[in-house]
Structure 1
Amino acid sequence: MKALSKLKAEEGIWMTDVPVPELGHNDLLIKIRKNSHLRD
């Protein structure tokens, strides 16, 4: 699945492919269809 990751101690985040996590009894996995980011 796709994830936004902070990989380095510098500005920016990167979109990475990560494995789907195993869910426990009290866990929830949500799918985000759209998002936005505003930069000051």
Structure 2
Amino acid sequence: MLRKDYDYTQEQLDDYANQNNPNNEEYWHSRGLDYQNPDL
């Protein structure tokens, strides 16, 4: 979950917005992130 008291970078916000999109699995892996449990 996003924390309201934390300033996220636009990249992190983009990641968060895409985390549940199955079409973006390669996008996640290309960033070295776990698709099911992204590191925000």
TM-score by length of 2: 0.19
Name whichever structure is richer in strand by fraction. Answer: 1
Name whichever structure is richer in helix by fraction. Answer: 2
TM-score by length of 1: 0.19
